[in-house]
Amino acid sequence: MFRTISLFTLWMIVALPAVAQTLIETRNRDIDLFAGQGKLIKLDEPAQTVFLANPDVADVEIKSPTLLYIYGKRIGETTLFVIDDQEEVTLSSAVGVSVNMDAVSRAAHATVTGGSFSVSEVGGAIVLSGRVGTIADAERIDSVVRQLAGETVTVVNSLSLETPPQINLQVRIAEVSRSVSEDLGVSWTSLSGGRSQSGDGLLTAFSISGTIEALKSRGLVTILSEPNLTARSGDKASFLAGGRFPYQTVAEGDDSSSVQFEPYGVELEFLPEVLRADQIKLNVRTQIRELDFSNGSTSNTQNIPLILERSASTTIEVGSGQSFAIAGLFSATTQQDVKDVPGLGEIPILGALFRSTSYQSGETELVIIVTPYIVEPAAPDKFKTPLEGFAPANSLDRHFLGSLSAGEPISKSGPVSVKNINGNAGFLLQ
């Protein structure tokens, strides 16, 4: 495609505004431009016709018969031809439009002040290399460079992070349930009844008995689960300590059945992202599931348990080593039942002999706390497990001393403590 401008339109073009940045005199020389940069070209002979081979790369305006204004539009190469009134080619120059790497580098370093990175041009592509503090810094640099370079320029992002992008998430799920129940009164029941034949006729007899109920019970249930999981910044990780319970389902209108699996136990899933050197964004989902067969249901093939679940899902931002309570619950329930003999149970004072009361109350407290750490790998000899120093007991110690192990891996004074596994075992904190 050629763009031709004749002197017929000279006076109309001269009226167009144009600002020259550089005045050059050229004869068959290459013209180098940056995208958005313009230059004035001084001609030795008056021009009759001026055209460019590719007007998408650059454009030219005739300011006078001996003065041209050329400016770069986008990255690429084209050719400028100038012909005089004798149809002689007075100028034939290759025009190259490139990226102003100095301006792009200054803009990138102004966007992100930290880190040690460079912006360079290799084979027509812009290469970003070096190290920055966070993923967000790398994304900002990449965005600025792409906007200044244009859509036609290939940008190779080889930036790496200075901060170790490994995050260990510790979750503490603590639950305490208290229950109190009281039963007091007299429960009247009819144990037996029958008829007998006597000489005077038919005799009906009933045996009625009462049971004195005076019972009080209290219960306490505690649950403490501390799952922890390590993942790279920007990647999702999941953890399940438990199992999957199978149960059959039957399709509607069809006798065919299928087996599905429902997970139970302690499950943890999170997506970490290091925003700054000491700030972590977490997308956390954690849950505890228990199987309760006592309150479940029964099908033709199996007993289906009731699934008790405590779960939480949220997105937070905390510093490395800081804790955050992402969920909490306090629940209190009360239930009272009164059973009496109709009519007799409403008599003042004496009615207590024909009445039975039942009282139940329960309180549940639940809290879920998450603590992320930025961690880094280490040599294998730096890691320990709760089984360090553990050995099974021999037959003599097991039968005569009642010992189960020859070592004491759970001792607080030992190198590793199961009760404090995050101290000297597992991983190294930054």
Each residue of 155-180: pLDDT tens digit?
998 888 776 678 888 888 887 888 77
In a domain, 422, yes or no: no
Q: Please give the pLDDT value at position 210.
A: 54
What digits encode the pLDDT tens for the residues 359-394? 778 888 888 888 898 887 778 877 777 777 777 888
What CATH code is carried by the domain that includes residue 52? 2.60.40.1380
How many CB atoms lie under 10 A from the CB of residue 121?
14
Q: What is the pLDDT of residue 407?
A: 60
Provide the pLDDT for residue 85.
Answer: 85
Does 362 share its domain with 216? yes
Run of H or E including 293? strand 279-298
Q: What is the pLDDT of residue 255?
A: 66
Range of the domain at 106: 101-161
State which amino acid sits at residue 325: A
**181, 275: one domain:** yes
Residue 76 to residue 324: CA distance in whole angstroms: 54
pLDDT of residue 253: 65
Rounded Cα gap, residues 355 and 210, in angstroms:
11
Residues 180 and 257 in one domain: yes
Residues 138 and 280 in one domain: no
Q: Which helix (H) or strand (E) holds 141?
A: helix 135-149
**Domain count of the chain?**
3
Residue type at 169?
L
Whole-model pTM? 0.52
Q: Which residue, 161, 182, 212, sits at the end of a domain? A: 161
Give the residues of the chain that fall short of pLDDT 70.
1-28, 163-164, 184-216, 221, 223, 252-255, 277, 300-301, 341, 343-346, 349-354, 407-430
Instruction: Find where tokens 């228990």 sit.
Output: 290
Same domain, 263 and 365: yes
Biggest CA pair distance of the chain: 155
Q: Are 334 and 360 in contact (CB under 8 A)?
A: yes
Encoding tokens for residue 340?
């009496």
CATH of the domain at 130: 3.30.1340
Residues recorded for the chain: 430
> Does residue 385 lie within any of the structural domains?
no
Residues 243 and 350 in one domain: yes
Q: What was the pLDDT predicted at 128?
A: 92
Q: Are residues 223 and 339 in the same domain?
A: yes
pLDDT score at 184: 65
Any domain includes 249: yes
Query: What is the structure's pLDDT at 18?
Result: 37
